[in-house]
Chains A and B, each alone.
Chain A
Amino acid sequence: EKLFHSRDHSDLQPSPQHQAELVTDLQSAQQFLSKYGWTEPVKWEGTSSKNAAELPRYGDADLMQEGASISRYGQEFPLEPTQAPAFVEALRKFQTLNGLPATGKLDDSTIAAMNKPRCGVPDNQIGKESAIVKSNSNNVTEKASGKSLNTTTNQNPENGTSTS
């Protein structure tokens, strides 16, 4: 059984064998970005046998770009300059939409964001619009400070206006 001690099972512990693998390094980050459509949109069909298959695999060298670095155990490791602009671009997009500085560097906060519990549906799918809300807005502004991409206007009537 899953271990618990409380009457209401609120302290239920997951079995160690059934823990999801976390994103910890460049390779797992690359897989994450590919899986959820950040590198390129994913074809998401439940009946397709290709869907869950092989993600494009890059060697470490391919993932490195001049100026890019990886973070392990709180330190940043400067890398040898080679090309993986798609990966860096995907990483930047992910960082931007998650309210992180869009550095293109796989730092601890980016890894933490990738390891948050989430839905399994890809964020970007073939044939579907991107995951940026554009309703009630003329512009979608990407803020350099790294704040989340949001609609520029908020017409939510719940935020303040009241009728007499």
Chain B
Amino acid sequence: KIRKKRFLQMLAAPVRYKDQANQGSTVRGAFSKKLLKWRLIGEGYSSQLSIDEQRYVFKTAFRMWSEVMPLDFEEDLTSPMSLIDVKLGFGRGRHLGCTRSFDGSGQEFAHAWFLGDIHFDDDEHFTAPSSDSGISLLKVAVHEIGHVLGLSHIYQTGSIMQPNYIPQEAGFELDWTDRKAIQMLYGTCEGSFDAVFDWIWKERNQYGELVLRYNTYFFRNAWYWLYENRKNRTRYGDPVTVSLGWHGIPAEGIDAFVHVWTWTEDATYFFKGTQYWRYDSENDQAYIKDAQGNQYPRLISEGFPKIPSPINTAFFDRRDQFIYFFKDAHVYAFDVKRNMVANHYPKRIIDVFPAVVRNNHPFGNIDAAYYAYTHNSIFLFKGKEYWKVVSDKDRQQNPKLPRNGLFLKKNISEQWTDICNVHSSMLKM
């Protein structure tokens, strides 16, 4: 078993990175697999918490790392032990065949090995996250998992990898330092999206004035993230399953989201396949019927005549009040006032959204089209990259730019950071 484990560890590809302080490079090992299996071993249960509590805490701890790095973790209760990547257990003094004894209550509370196992000193008073006293098992577990993944101690205020235990504050989360440290080893999260949009909502402020607010959402497969633009990260605890947050629309594989917003109309639509749904934000669910009594979902061909389906994506342009539907290499402009496709459409995407730099263009099969209020710009997403559309403001600064031109492509992960998958088993905690 030891030989096998060492062999698997040898497969972990070392990652070279620039040591920015010294301009040298350091080889550091990391797991090369994308999915790691973990288990709380039967002979290593704590005497202080229920087994379910222990497993829940560890599941949460692994998930917290998974939310910021391109690695998934899965609790595996059935595979042979030799296939388990990380085994966790509690012990006192001499424990679990470990060469390092624990020292009793106080001082050391846990230890872990790079690419290996984690042991917790059961002489410590570990408590669940809901408790105000004792040592937070969650915080310790997150720290030790950091070692397993390849992190050393970090002497930085706020870092989970500080060597000393600091009592848990309310809402403990991974620090920005920790994110970057683990991403130095494993890279950042990347991937395509099905739909990206800003969801507008209204509320009254303290003066009774109606104010408009928005939240940014990224959809992929059966889950979604809320992106906190001011903090350059996703909401803690995301992704969430689509079905949990959005009721009455398909649970996965959304093609497009459109917010038609004019002086006379304010409607949000989800599209998938040949159908579409209108969403009722007040009741937080899809409408059952439209104003004419037609049941949702409706066929795209009925609600938007001459628009093909399925579509790749779409967005509503408030400047000309057209919905731009993208399919393959073409774009259809749909005039919502006249309820018909605009004259001279469909057109090639490259003609409506020309490349600013020659050949730097998605050409077709756009994944998502997104108007961002944060940036006052339209973005086209394809794969891991995006193109920003030339805005009116851009053209004021540089009149030579083509109208609706596409700037050079960039990585989505550079602009919207840390939008990371988690294992499907973690979508329901």
Please determine whether B163 and A163 come into contact, CB atoms closer than 8 angstroms. no
Residues of A within 8 A of B116 (CB): 46
B98 in contact (CB, < 8 A): yes
Bitwise interface map of B from 106 to 132 toward A, beta carbon under 8 Å scored 1, else 0: 111111111011000101110100011
Bitwise interface map of B from 214 to 257 toward A, beta carbon under 8 Å scored 1, else 0: 00000000000000011111000000000000000000000000
* Nearest CB in chain A to that of B23: its residue: A138
Q: Give Cα distance in the complex from A11 to B134, angstroms.
A: 8
Known A20-B103, A128-B152, A157-B176; contact A163-B374, beta-carbon cutoff 8 A: yes
B50 in contact (CB, < 8 A): no
Residues of A within 8 A of B143 (CB): 119
Please determine whether A117 and B99 come into contact, CB atoms closer than 8 angstroms. no
B425 in contact (CB, < 8 A): no
Q: B55 to nearest A CB, angstroms? A: 20
Which of these binds chain A: B73-81, B153-161, B295-303, B377-385? B153-161
State which residues 88-145 of A face B: CB under 8 Å: 97-98, 113, 115-121, 123, 125, 128-140
Please, how many residues of chain A have a CB less than 8 angstroms from a CB on the other chain? 57
State which residues 143-190 of B face A: CB under 8 Å: 143-144, 147, 152-157, 159, 163-165, 175-177, 180-181, 184
Please determine whether B2 and A118 come into contact, CB atoms closer than 8 angstroms. no
Which of these binds chain B: A54-62, A75-83, A147-155? A147-155
Determine the main DSSP class of B at the interface with A.
loop
Residues of B within 8 A of A8 (CB): 131
Please determine whether A156 and B176 come into contact, CB atoms closer than 8 angstroms. yes
Q: B50 to nearest A CB, angstroms? A: 12
Q: Give Cα distance in the complex from A52 to B38, angstroms.
A: 26
Determine the main DSSP class of A at the interface with B.
loop
- Most B-side CB within 10 Å, residue of A17, A18, A51: A18
Q: Give Cα distance in the complex from A159 to B143, angstroms.
A: 23
Residues of B within 8 A of A162 (CB): 230
- Which of A46, A115, A138 interacts with B107 by CB under 8 Å? A115
Q: A8 to nearest B CB, angstroms? A: 8
Residues of B within 8 A of A155 (CB): 176
Q: Give Cα distance in the complex from A163 to B376, angstroms.
A: 12
Q: Give Cα distance in the complex from A95 to B114, angstroms.
A: 26
Residues of A within 8 A of B135 (CB): 117
Known A119-B143, A121-B153, A131-B153; contact A51-B103, beta-carbon cutoff 8 A: no
Residues of A within 8 A of B133 (CB): 10-11
Q: Give Cα distance in the complex from A58 to B302, angstroms.
A: 87
B19 in contact (CB, < 8 A): yes
- Which of B2, B109, B114, B230 interacts with A119 by CB under 8 Å? B109
- Which of B20, B106, B140, B144 interacts with A14 by CB under 8 Å? B106
Please determine whether A49 and B99 come into contact, CB atoms closer than 8 angstroms. yes
Residues of A within 8 A of B127 (CB): 10
- Which of B104, B175, B180 interacts with A19 by CB under 8 Å? B104
Known A12-B134, A140-B21; contact A150-B157, beta-carbon cutoff 8 A: yes
Q: Give Cα distance in the complex from A162 to B125, angstroms.
A: 40
- Which of B48, B92, B181, B231 interacts with A157 by CB under 8 Å? B231
B26 in contact (CB, < 8 A): yes
B424 in contact (CB, < 8 A): no
Taking residues whose C-beta sits less than 8 angstroms from the other chain, chain B's interface range is 35 or more
Q: Give Cα distance in the complex from A139 to B23, angstroms.
A: 11
Please determine whether A97 and B230 come into contact, CB atoms closer than 8 angstroms. no
B281 in contact (CB, < 8 A): no
* Nearest CB in chain A to that of B29: its residue: A127
Residues of B within 8 A of A139 (CB): 21
Residues of B within 8 A of A98 (CB): 155
Please determine whether B374 and A137 come into contact, CB atoms closer than 8 angstroms. no
Residues of A within 8 A of B33 (CB): none
Please determine whether A149 and B155 come into contact, CB atoms closer than 8 angstroms. yes
Please determine whether B157 and A119 come into contact, CB atoms closer than 8 angstroms. no
Known A12-B125, A131-B153, A136-B180; contact A47-B2, beta-carbon cutoff 8 A: yes
Q: Give Cα distance in the complex from A20 to B116, angstroms.
A: 25
Residues of A within 8 A of B21 (CB): 134, 137-140
* Nearest CB in chain B to that of A122: its residue: B153
* Nearest CB in chain A to that of B19: its residue: A134
Known A117-B165, A134-B20; contact A129-B152, beta-carbon cutoff 8 A: yes
5 closest A-B pairs by CB: A120-B111, A14-B105, A20-B107, A20-B103, A20-B106
Give 12 A-B contacts (CB < 8 Å), ordered by A residue.
Answer: A14-B105, A44-B113, A44-B114, A98-B155, A120-B121, A121-B147, A123-B152, A129-B152, A134-B21, A135-B177, A138-B20, A149-B155
Binding site for A on B (CB under 8 A): 2, 19-22, 26, 28, 48, 92-93, 98-114, 116-117, 121, 123-125, 127, 131-135, 140, 143-144, 147, 152-157, 159, 163-165, 175-177, 180-181, 184, 229-233, 374
